[in-house]
């Protein structure tokens, strides 16, 4: 079939929206008609050429939500008409990692996904016979895409797809980190560094867990205001003195839980230093630049702090994302406030500009 899609032709250049051929789904694959897709920093990061594993030409986009149109042979997890959220982090349920119950990092299709191919080693997108590669196993800046069935979370049909697409990446990362990865205890004190989509998700997750104090840290007053709306009880404008401020606010002890959602190595260090001696748990969520390192004074660890990280906040996509959608439908999770701009596919580059200008939280492309 013919689909319109936004193609990264060369690094550092705007995406080019054009018509491509999309081949039907093969064994274990599913054709999804996209209804909405968020524009995320990871798309911009790859488009810029900064990602050492990047490649062109490819169809970007990974925060998709849509409806199953057609399934390939052997597909059992979804059927046509199902509403789905696309998962850059699939969950096969069968590999050693999935069976361990200890991690959300499924190894089933990792190698091929990193190459921009579907699990059989080929892409489904093409242009005049020239293969166009996939991105993060999703490629959701397109009217339709083909994905492995293990990369789709089947969700309640009542949920608005142009809102729950934010759960395909950023919002889930923050929420899952607070709800499950860190499993924040009621009555605790939490600090969240960064009040973008991931950080706001973490703030909300801390609130849902019954945290007593939630301190949000960000450079932007507008974002801190939004953080207050999502449950932050106190806010701090980011800067050098942040750790001392947090220590002062907590009787010199530090916070029970800290979350880092900026991708900046220096902030990761602050998040460790701001965790309480004795039992403070620091959860790193941001993706730092290639080759960057974090300096941690070992004394901080020997005196009881723990540092952990979690891709996608540790969420197991097919298991946990539908739960978050249900919480959205129950009114517990306000996703609507995350969507600051709505765009058409033709305006997708505008989504990157808004992100670079730090204008709003999430732009969503509607198809
Ligand atoms: Cu993302």
Active site residue 206: no
Active site residue 165: no
The residue from 62, 124, 133, 276 that is catalytic is 62
Active site residue 42: yes
Q: What is the pLDDT of residue 250?
A: 96
**Can you say how many angstroms the Cα of residue 110 is from the centroid of all Cα atoms in its chain?**
17
Active site residue 99: no
Active site residue 341: no
Q: What is the pLDDT of residue 50?
A: 83
Active site residue 35: no
Q: What is the pLDDT of residue 3?
A: 98
Q: What is the pLDDT of residue 25?
A: 98
211 vs 232: CA distance, rounded Å: 10
For every residue of 150-214, DSSP letters joined together read: GGEEEE-TTS-HHHHGGGGTHHHHHHHIIIIIS-PPTT-EEEEE--SHHHHHHHHHHHHTT-SEE
Whether 308 contacts 284, CB under 8 Å: yes
3-class DSSP state for residue 131? strand
CA neighbours within 13 Å on the CB side: how many for 188?
Answer: 25
The contacts of residue 160 (CB under 8 Å, 6+ apart) are none
Q: What is the pLDDT of residue 292?
A: 92
Q: What is the pLDDT of residue 268?
A: 97
Whether 189 contacts 212, CB under 8 Å: yes
Q: What is the pLDDT of residue 264?
A: 95
- According to DSSP, the β-strands at 58-59 and 234-237 are unpaired
228 vs 206: CA distance, rounded Å: 12
Best CA proximity match to 162, nearest among 312, 41, 341: 341
Q: What is the mean pLDDT of each run of 10 residues along the chain (367 residues)?
A: 97 96 98 97 88 91 97 98 97 96 92 93 96 96 98 98 96 98 98 96 98 97 95 95 97 97 96 98 92 94 97 97 98 94 96 89 94
Q: What is the CA(247)–ligand 1 centre distance, in A?
A: 32
Q: What is the CA(95)–ligand 1 centre distance, in A?
A: 24
* Domains of the chain (ranges, CATH numbers): 2-168+335-366 (3.90.180.10), 171-311 (3.40.50.720)
Q: What is the pLDDT of residue 137?
A: 95
Active site residue 62: yes
CA angle 30, 34, 38 (to 5 degrees): 120
Active site residue 145: no
1 vs 265: CA distance, rounded Å: 44
The residue from 29, 37, 58, 63 that is catalytic is 63
Q: What is the pLDDT of residue 144?
A: 98
The residue from 4, 26, 97, 110 that is catalytic is 110
The residue from 35, 41, 83, 117 that is catalytic is 41
């Amino acid at each position: 079939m013919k689909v319109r899609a936004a193609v990264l032709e060369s690094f550092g250049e705007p995406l080019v929206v054009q018509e491509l051929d999309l081949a039907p789904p093969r064994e274990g694959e599913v054709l999804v008609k996209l209804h909405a897709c968020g524009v995320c920093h990871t798309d911009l990061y790859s488009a810029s050429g900064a990602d050492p594993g990047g490649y062109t030409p490819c169809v970007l986009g990974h925060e998709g939500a849509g409806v199953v149109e057609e399934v390939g042979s052997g597909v059992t997890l979804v059927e046509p008409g199902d509403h789905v959220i696309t998962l850059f982090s699939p969950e096969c349920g069968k590999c050693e990692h999935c069976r361990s119950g200890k991690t959300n990092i499924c190894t089933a299709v990792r190698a091929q996904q990193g190459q921009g191919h579907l699990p059989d080693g080929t892409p489904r997108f093409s242009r005049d016979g020239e293969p166009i590669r996939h991105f993060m196993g999703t490629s959701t800046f397109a009217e339709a895409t083909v994905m492995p069935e293990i990369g789709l979370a089947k969700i309640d049909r009542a949920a608005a797809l142009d809102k729950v697409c934010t759960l395909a990446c950023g919002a889930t990362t923050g929420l899952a980190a607070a709800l499950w990865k860190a499993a924040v205890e009621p009555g605790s004190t939490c600090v969240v560094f960064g009040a973008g989509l991931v950080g706001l998700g973490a703030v909300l997750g801390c609130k849902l867990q019954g945290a007593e104090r939630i301190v949000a840290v960000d450079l932007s007053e507008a974002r801190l205001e939004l953080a207050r709306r999502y449950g932050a009880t106190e806010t701090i404008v980011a800067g050098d003195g942040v750790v001392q401020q947090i220590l002062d606010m907590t009787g010199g002890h530090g916070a029970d839980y800290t979350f880092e959602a900026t991708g900046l190595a220096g902030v990761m260090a602050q998040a460790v230093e701001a965790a309480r001696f004795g039992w403070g748990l620091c959860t790193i969520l941001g993706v730092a630049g290639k080759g960057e390192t974090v300096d941690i004074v070992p004394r901080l660890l020997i005196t009881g702090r723990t540092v952990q990280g979690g891709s996608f906040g540790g969420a197991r996509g097919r298991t946990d994302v539908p739960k978050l959608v249900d919480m959205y439908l129950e009114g517990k999770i306000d996703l609507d406030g995350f969507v600051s701009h709505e765009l058409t596919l033709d305006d997708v580059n505008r989504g990157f500009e808004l992100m670079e200008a730090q204008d709003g939280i999430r732009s969503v492309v509607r198809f």
